[in-house]
Structure 1
Amino acid sequence: MSKTAIMGFGNPVRSDDAVGIYVIEQLKNIIGNQGDISIFDMGTAAFEVLFGLKGHDKIILVDAVINTNEPVGTLFKLPAEEVLRAPQEDPMVFLHGMKWDQALSYAKKILQDDYPDDIQVYLIAVENTKLEVDLSDDAKIAGDKVVKHILEDLKSTVA
Structure 2
Amino acid sequence: MGFGNPVRSDDGIGCYVIQELKKSLGNSNAITILDMGTSAFEVLYQLKGHNRILIVDAVVNTGEPSGTLYKVPAKEVMRTPVEDPMVFLHSLKWDQALSYAKRILADEYPEDIQVYLIAIDNTRLEVELSDKVKEAGDKVVQLMLDELTASNEV
Deviation of the 1:17 alpha carbon:
0.2
Partner deviation per Cα, 1:45-103 (whole Å, 9 max, x = no partner): 00010001000000000000011011111000000000010001112210100000000
TM-score (norm 1): 0.95
Match of 1:33 in 2: 27
Match of 1:65 in 2: 59
Match of 2:102 in 1: 108
3-state SS in 2 of match to 1:125: strand
The alignment of Structure 1 onto Structure 2 pairs a total of residues equal to: 153
2:112 corresponds to which letter in structure 1?
D
Match of 1:149 in 2: 143
Distance 1:58 1:104 in 2: 13
Match of 1:75 in 2: 69
1:104 corresponds to which letter in structure 2?
L
Spell out the pairing of 1:2-151 with structure 2 (5 A cutoff). Answer: 7-151=1-145
1:71 corresponds to which letter in structure 2?
P
Q: Which consecutive residues of structure 2, in runs of 5 or more, have no partner in the other structure? A: none
Deviation of the 1:32 alpha carbon:
1.1
3-state SS in 2 of match to 1:39: coil
Distance 2:109 2:38 in 1: 22
Distance 1:135 1:55 in 2: 33
1:60 corresponds to which letter in structure 2?
L
Q: CA RMSD in A?
A: 0.8
Match of 1:3 in 2: none
Deviation of the 1:35 alpha carbon:
1.4
TM-score (norm 2): 0.98
- The ranges of structure 1 where at least 4 consecutive aligned residues each deviate by more than 4 angstroms after the TM superposition are none
Distance 2:84 2:26 in 1: 40
